[in-house]
Structure 1
Amino acid sequence: AGVRMEAEEQSELCFPQLGNLSCRKPRWASSQGVLPRVLLPAVCALTVLLNLLVVIAISHFRQLHTPTNLLLLSLAVADFLVGLVMWPGELYMSTSCWAFGDVACFCYHLVSFVVTSVSVGHMVLISADRYVAICDPLRYGVKVTVKRIQGCVCLCWFLSFLYCCALLREPLARPEECSSCRGECVIAVDVDGGLLDLIVVFVLPLCVIVTLYARVFAAAASQARALRSRVAGGAPRRGAKRSELKAARTLGVLVLVFLLCYCPFYIVALVGELGFSSSAQYALYLLDFNSCANPLIYALFYPWFRRAVGHIVTLRVLRPGSRGADLL
């Protein structure tokens, strides 16, 4: 019996030859049935495919090269990286032992931190874009230009990278000290760093987003009432266009879904339950699912996206002059 128990313990180790230095094989995914094995890989593939369509559509068609769409393009690149890197990494670590070394582990977590920070930054930029469009429509074209948005996007990626490198400076200097045993891939951030990350990546952006969109919807409601009264009275229309109001509502849905997907993860982090518990794992999966939900929102609310996908799927994008196609 003792020999059998020892053999079973050996079979549960990632690297039996290392003995106590080896981690145990993960059990979480095997105990959850069909979810990690079937549904999550399907969501991963869908995330990559849909965001690739968004990137191709906005990059290819000149009519879609607007400031707001450039923000959506950069956000789609971040979401594409979630499907290409973060989803496979999470699925792999929930079912298998890490076998790629400490440097690869650090690079994986660095990409994860950067992509998350970039996504949050883009939600702030989208909220600011809608704020200017609705609350200061007459000067929107002057304040928000393609070049300025390009600069904001580049700055967002650059600052996110610098911030994450500073946050992970200790694991960067000594990546081999992060893991307590061989076969796991974790990044240790001290309490002060975790609190800083919670404030910088969640609390402050949340306050900015909620404040801006509260003003956006208050202004949109006021302008909608004024528009109805002017139309009824035959007065000329002024203020924000109907298209801008509709875009504000659509992007408001985008921001709302973002908050619904991100809040549970940071709430779990706030109460100190992050680790290998099922609640933390599901919260992390929900955070990653936001990257799949974004292009689904575009498909649901944006006719230009559906038309662009039709051009891409039918290979009409390969025809001469397809970049100038009318999608609006």
Structure 2
Amino acid sequence: METLTETELCYPQLVNMSCRKPKRSNTEDVLMYVVLSFISLLTATLNLLVIISVSHFKQLHTPTNLLLRSLAFSDFFVGLLMSFQILLTNGCWLLGDFMCTLYCTLEFVITSASVGNMVLISVDRYIAICDPLHYHTKVTVRAVIHCTCLCWACSVVYNSLIMKDNLKQPGRYKSCSGQCVTVINYVAGIIDLFLTFVGPVTVIIVLYLRVFVVAVSHARVMKARITAVRLQRSSNVQVKKSEIKAARTLGVVVVVFLTCLCPYYCSSLVGKNAVFGITSLPLETWLFYFNSCLNPVIYVFCYPWFLKSIKLIATFKILQHDSSKANIL
């Protein structure tokens, strides 16, 4: 019978109960640590810049930007949660059963909130493009704040109910010490799949298809009237062009989000129960994490105000008096 050395066990003192460490070279462990640390730091930093920018500069206090800030909050927390993965470079969970359950619950809450924010962004663009005359009356700053707060509150309550068995008895489903596993029963997993993936994704796709059709129609109308209505070009036409550009940018964000999220949910149901273990994360989970880093990168290329705000933040000019009134648009 093979005798396990201490380096092969998560808890050497628990020979018969400890999980075994994955067999990896020191080079692989160091590479994983460096990559995870870089992605985690970059994700948290970039999204924090988005949060500070939208919160500080008054010109950015628009409904659409407040939705981007809410999305940045969820992406920022993803960056923080990734720091836990750095502790798992040796394949062992050493923070206890309660922290394991709390980690998984927070991950579910953030995922649901991200999906909800994407739905709100799609609704915002739908109204802006398809019903522009009533946009400013239907979509106000106060309404967006209420909707985002409700989105986060529902996410917390819903996922707490989904994870109640794991929260009541943390670690009840682990097979060995050093493992972090949570289990959702089959019925709850199916409900969760439809409420946090199939339903929202369907709404997002339908709304953006409608936005795309209307945006193309507006573009054709603007092109046809550009010579005949030169006086209106600087007002109505320009507004429509800005709204269409915003819809295109946020459309990229939505497409990237769905691309990264689909593999995560498609592999979430395994067998009779949905089993989520974070000591051996699959590729689709890392893809979902990486999406949180991509969103602010998209803003850099599509929103000039983001680069200007980063410059003001990096040079500490936001600490100056009345810096919140700076013109960055």
TM-score (norm 2): 0.91
1:90 partnered with 2:85: yes
Letter in 2 for 1:194: G
Runs of 4+ in 1 over 6 A off after TM superposition: 28-31, 273-279
What's 1:232 paired with?
Answer: 227
1:214 to 190, 194, 209: 209
Mean alpha-carbon deviation: is it higher for 288-297 or for 226-235? 226-235
For structure 2, the residue ranges without an aligned partner over 5 or more in a row are none
Distance in 1 (alpha carbons) for counterparts of 2:119 and 2:63: 14
Question: 1:152 offset after TM fit, Å?
Answer: 0.2
Which of residues 15, 22, 29 in structure 1 aligns to 2:18?
Answer: 22
Following TM superposition, by how much is the alpha carbon of 1:196 offset from its aligned partner in structure 2, in angstroms?
Answer: 1.8
Q: Partner of 1:201 in structure 2?
A: 196
Counterpart Cα distance in 2 of 1:91 and 1:218: 45
Match of 1:242 in 2: 241
Pick one of 93, 98, 101 that aligns with 2:96: 101
**CA distance in structure 2 between the partners assigned to 1:160 and 1:39 by the alignment:** 30
User: Contact 2:182 / 2:275 at 8 angstroms: preserved in 1?
Assistant: no
How many angstroms does 1:28 deviate by? 6.7
1:14 counterpart SS class? coil
Q: After the TM superposition, which of the residue ranges 46-55 and 13-22 deviates more from structure 2?
A: 13-22
Distance 2:146 2:172 in 1: 38
Q: Quick one: distance in 2 between partners of 1:111 and 1:307?
A: 33
Alpha carbons 2:126, 2:207 under 8 Å: kept: yes
Please state how far the C-alpha of 1:233 moved relative to its aligned partner: 2.5
Q: Distance in 2 between matches of 1:35 and 1:264?
A: 24
Q: Which residue of 1 aligns with 2:318?
A: 317
Mapped pair 1:155 → 2:150: yes
Name 2:307's counterpart in structure 1.
306
Q: CA deviation at 1:38?
A: 2.3
Identify if the C-alpha distance between structure 1 residues 113 and 27 changes in structure 2 by more than 3 Å, giving closer, same or farther.
farther
C-alpha distance in structure 2 between counterparts of 1:221 and 1:28, whole Å: 53
Q: Say whether residues 1:65 and 2:65 are aligned partners.
A: no
Residue aligning to 1:141: 136
Report if aligned partners of 2:50, 2:296 keep a CA contact under 8 Å in 1.
Answer: yes
Q: CA deviation at 1:122?
A: 0.3
Amino acid at match of 1:290: N
Indicate how the Cα distance of structure 1 residues 168 and 270 shifts in structure 2: closer, same or farther if over 3 A, else same. closer
Deviation of 1:278 after TM superposition, in Å, equals 11
Moved more, 100-109 or 162-171: 100-109
Between Structure 1 and Structure 2, the one with more helix by share is 1
Could you tell me which of 73, 78, 96 is aligned with 1:77? Answer: 73
Aligned-CA RMSD value: 2.3
**Sequence identity (%):** 47
* Aligned AA (2:157): L
Q: Does the aligned pair in 1 maintain the 2:48–2:72 contact within 8 Å?
A: yes
**Whole-Å separation in 2 of the counterparts to 1:98 and 1:77:** 26
3-state SS, counterpart of residue 187 of structure 1: strand
**Structure 1: how far apart are the matches of 2:25 and 2:248?**
38
> How many residues in Structure 1 have an aligned counterpart in Structure 2?
323
> Which structure 2 residues correspond to residues 226-305 of structure 1 after superposition, within 5 A?
226-234=221-229, 236=232, 238=236, 241-269=240-268, 281-305=282-306
Shift of 1:270: 5.0
TM-score, with structure 1 as normaliser: 0.92
Task: Give, as a single letter, the amino acid of the residue that structure 2 aligns with 1:22.
Answer: S
Instruction: State the secondary structure of the residue aligned to 1:20.
Output: coil
Structure 1 residue 114 displacement after superposition? 0.4
Preserved contact between residue 30 and residue 95 of structure 1 (Cα < 8 Å): no
Instruction: State the shift of 1:16 in Å.
Output: 2.0
Q: Which residue in the other structure is 1:6 paired with?
A: 3
Helix, strand or coil: the match of 2:180?
A: coil
Instruction: Give the secondary-structure state (helix, strand or coil) at the position aligned to 1:188.
Output: strand
